[in-house]
Structure 1
């Protein structure tokens, strides 16, 4: 039988099955053809048709029994492509434009509310924006904890992208920008860069069509975060500066302080530490003025990171401890883990490696317990350093290798390269100098590609050290010479110490 003949037979069978349905089941079948993705749960089916969950479940079972849907789990169903197209055609033929538009609006609004409920568990510290109300009688989806919320997001992520595209195509601009804003706090934990940026640009176009300046600022912030985390720092700064300008124009003090707090990490990654410090200090002042303890704790943690990079380990430790106490009072696990990472780094700098190891392990445990691979991948870098400092280079190597795998999955090339750098240091500690040089060389190539001069200098220093230890002094001098040039323009104490150390290494080599 040819493919065309098989398709014709399938279409004929679908027609017979469809005509045998009850009126209620046929209506649901048609409306499900308007669902933005091929797979859906019972609550979504109820939402698109304006039914109760019990009614929807009963009718879905009848559609599955008629082989018009496939049941893939107790509460989940899926169309085959041909049947989905058939259902869509029937909706076009038998439903009025008004009925179709109402069904699309119902399901898209329902997904926005469901995503908002999920992000409340996945990233509870994030504020919620006002949403377009659900239709009267529609049942909002709720979750009873982080695990279920995260599982729902992972299951529905493809549908959520389809919802954004459908909202734009249907002219539902309010839904389009709201979905992008709601999912920002989930995206920033998981780094789905392609969907994050695509959804953000859909939302930005929608906000600008509406002339909603507050919405535009929300989406600019989301795009700025996506670019920061994908190491597109120039674009990130432009997005965040745009959001800051709008929020100042609107007199939005919370929004202004959030934008300042977003620009600080970009300056930190660029190693413009004075600028980063001033942004965080200004944000912290506003958070305290308006009474925003959650964000005050975030700004304190950011200030601690700047203090650490400036070489003020004691100051960093004090700020981080204050932030940790606030995050514990707020039951913010992500904030706690990040501050534990900072405390580990500060303790290590102060010559307390065992304490540093304890803090790093606590941080990684939080990440693992929350199934958050972005946290785990980042905090494993700190654990690796503490393991090295306590003489456990092989354990450190395992931590760095795990971190590199996770960062590869997340698409964070900068942190993946930092994991390679750590692996190079661990191999060097194990006196496996050729392998150490290979990892440092790979890290240097990535940092060069990302135009990250500071991390490039660190990688080149590691590479030169490995080559020098392997008896390849001439090659080592070449890399130290480049690292020396790269560190010349930095003025902070940590950079000055590195510059001095490289100068001495060159003299000795």
Structure 2
């Protein structure tokens, strides 16, 4: 109804309603829920022919009224309305982009829908709209709009885990924004370029991008962009294994956003802070952060952020031994990620589900899940996910007694760390490699790897990983010197597991009791 009124122009809503009622009575249009109407195919073709017979001025005025209506309506529209109108919006942008007189509507409508596509997915429609809008911006010579559309299109490619396309689009957006002297647009482009580098396992490149973003934000006087840059420097610092540096950056960013009252932005910071707490072994704090993220994402119906938050919450619950909740959240993340086409979160959900299966002793099922997650991670160059999954595969195969296979996965995980600048999973990979060396009887290599792992976790403040490394340190010592010599390592590991609330507490308590009894 509102669209019909906009097209008709000066006619009153009552007149339009009566006209539509007559068309419905004549079976020329069919009513649909929400005061919507649909042409029959033949009638649509006939109406189009009749419209083309109108004078150019009448058609132009009608086009402008329709496009102006949509541009105004989408700014305050509900998500449900945008979902219902999405196909029409794609169509009107494509139509507007083909005419120099209306091409500015194509870019304005597209850019106004950026947050909608970021939160809801619908990547194919988003990319189609961006393609049309980009052509319109270039036809009009509007480089500011061109930079904005390129960044939006790059974001959609990023959300599809198409990282090379994302890099190409964000790089072009950055260059265009720099050429026209727009620091805000340039900061936006380099920000998202940094996020791509982070996902590709290139945290140092990511830091360079976010430091550039920080300088541009300060130049433009934008506290929002400054806080965002600081947050993502924290993300990259964590990938380098600098846990407390990451916590400091996230905390600083969170403080700025809270002062600004920007709840939508805090979800990104809480996610990073939760990951830093998880890495440090502060599992309860991590769970609280990720639970807040899930709640905000659900409240605001931001599917993309919900998928990420659910994966992180599931992983934290898994490490807390809350396996049913972990499996439930991982399944929900899997459903959401497949709905929006976000393969990175799909891989994460598959991995967490496999880890739950492994912890419950279902090794064959866990290997099947890990294998699917590994294939997906490699297909999208998700290097952190690849390394984490390889460690899981090594543990599962080692528990099955398949030491040679397990050793290969552990070495591959370590290679993935060394091939990138990522170091956050280096200690877990070394710990698993040490466990495999122990299983083969190579105590010398086992000792070397576990000492390296312990050095890293102590330096990085990775408490959960430290406890796991100490457990393996005790096993190696037991094999070389007997159970009594291993007890101090296991006692220290048990203290950390107990403090963290990890499920390994139960198993290690039995091991210690047996060692002391002997």
TM superposition shift of 1:493: 3.4
Q: 1:192 aligns with which of 103, 113, 122?
A: 122
Question: 2 CA distance for matches of 1:433 and 1:384?
Answer: 19
**1:380-419 to 2 correspondence within 5 Å?**
380-419=310-349
Corresponding residue number in structure 2 for 1:7: none
Matches of 1:471 and 1:77, distance apart in 2: 65
What's the offset of the Cα at 1:242?
1.1
Out of 36, 39, 47, the position equivalent to 1:79 is 39
- Tell me, yes or no, if the aligned pair for 1:264 and 1:275 is still in contact at 8 Å: yes
- CA shift, 1:90, in A, is 2.7
Query: Shift in Å at residue 404 of structure 1?
Result: 0.9
Looking at structure 2, the residues matched to 104 and 403 of structure 1 have their Cα atoms a distance apart, in angstroms, of 41
Give the match for residue 339 of structure 1.
Answer: 269
Task: Provide Cα deviations, 1:384-434, integer angstroms capped at 9, x if missing partner.
Answer: 122123220121111111111110111111210111111111112222211
Any residues of structure 2 matched to 1:192-211 within 5 Å, and which? 192-211=122-141
TM-score, normalised with respect to structure 2: 0.79
Q: Deviations for 1:18-37, whole angstroms, at most 9, x for unmatched residues? A: xxxxxxxxxxxxxxxxxxxx
Cα offsets for 1:371-392 (capped at 9, x unmatched):
2222211101111122123220
1:96 aligned residue (55, 61, 76):
55
Q: Secondary structure at the match of 1:78?
A: strand
1:346 is displaced (CA, Å) by: 2.0
- Of the candidates 75, 82, 91, which is equivalent to residue 153 of structure 1? 82
- Deviation (angstroms), 1:271: 1.4
Q: Secondary structure at the match of 1:493?
A: coil
CA-to-aligned-CA distance 1:105-137 (integer Å, 9 cap, x gap): 32123222322x14xxxxxxxxxxxxxxxxxxx
Cα 1:53–1:309 change in 2 (3 A) is farther
1:40-189 paired onto structure 2 within 5 Å: 42-51=1-10, 52-73=12-33, 75-93=35-53, 95-115=54-74, 117-118=75-76, 143=77, 149-171=78-100, 172-189=102-119
Distance 2:313 2:151 in 1: 31
- Whether 2:307 is the aligned partner of 1:348: answer no
Whole-angstrom CA distance in 2 between matches of 1:449 and 1:359: 30
* Matched residue SS, 1:451: coil
Mean CA deviation greater in 468-477 or 322-331: 322-331
| SS of residue in 2 equivalent to 1:157 | helix
CA distance in 2, matches of 1:364, 1:263: 25
- Structure 2 SS opposite 1:431: coil
**CA RMSD of superposed structures (Å):** 2.1
Taking a change above 3 Å as real, the CA distance of residues 348 and 443 of structure 1, as seen in their structure-2 partners, is: same
Which runs of no fewer than 5 residues in structure 2 stay unpaired? 440-518
1:54 Cα deviation from its structure 2 partner:
4.4
Q: Does 1:485 align with 2:444?
A: no
1:260-299 to structure 2, matched below 5 A, reads 260-299=190-229
**Aligned-residue offset at 1:179:** 2.4
Contact 1:490–1:496, Cα closer than 8 Å, also in 2: no
Kindly tell me: are residues 492 and 453 of structure 1, through their superposed partners in 2, closer, same or farther at Cα, counting changes over 3 Å? closer
- TM-score scaled to structure 1, two decimals? 0.81
Greater relative contact order (CA < 8 Å, ≥ 6 in sequence): 2
CA distance in 1, matches of 2:260, 2:117: 22
Query: How far has the Cα of 1:91 moved from its partner?
Result: 2.6
Partner of 1:34: none
SS of residue matched to 1:189: helix
User: Which runs of structure 2 are paired with 1:14-25 in the superposition (5 Å)?
Assistant: none
Aligned residue among 453, 456, 459 for 2:389: 459
1:220–1:243: 8 Å Cα contact kept in structure 2?
Answer: yes
Aligned to 2:495: none
Question: For the Cα contact (< 8 Å) 1:488–1:499, is it kept in 2?
Answer: no
Q: Which segments of structure 1 move beyond 6 Å, counting only runs of 4 or more? A: none
For structure 1, the 5+ residue unaligned runs are 1-41, 119-142, 144-148
Cα distance, 1:315–1:482 mapped onto 2, change above 3 Å: closer
Which residue of 421, 432, 444 maps to 2:362?
Answer: 432
For residue 156 of structure 1, report the CA deviation from its aligned partner.
0.5
For 2:31, what is the secondary structure of its paired residue?
Answer: strand
Q: Is the 8 A contact 1:407 1:416 kept in 2?
A: yes
Tell me how far apart the structure 2 counterparts of residues 488 and 343 of structure 1 sit (CA, whole Å).
25
| Whole-angstrom distance in 1 between the partners of 2:159 and 2:120 | 10
SS in 2 for 1:471: coil
CA distance in 2, matches of 1:482, 1:354: 31
Q: Secondary structure of the equivalent of 2:32? A: strand
Alpha-carbon distance, 1:276 to partner: 0.7
> What is the alpha-carbon distance in structure 1 between the residues aligned to residue 230 and residue 19 of structure 2?
54
Aligned residue number for residue 363 of structure 1: 293
- Decide which moves more: 281-290 or 491-500: 491-500
Following superposition, the deviation at residue 253 of structure 1 comes to 1.4
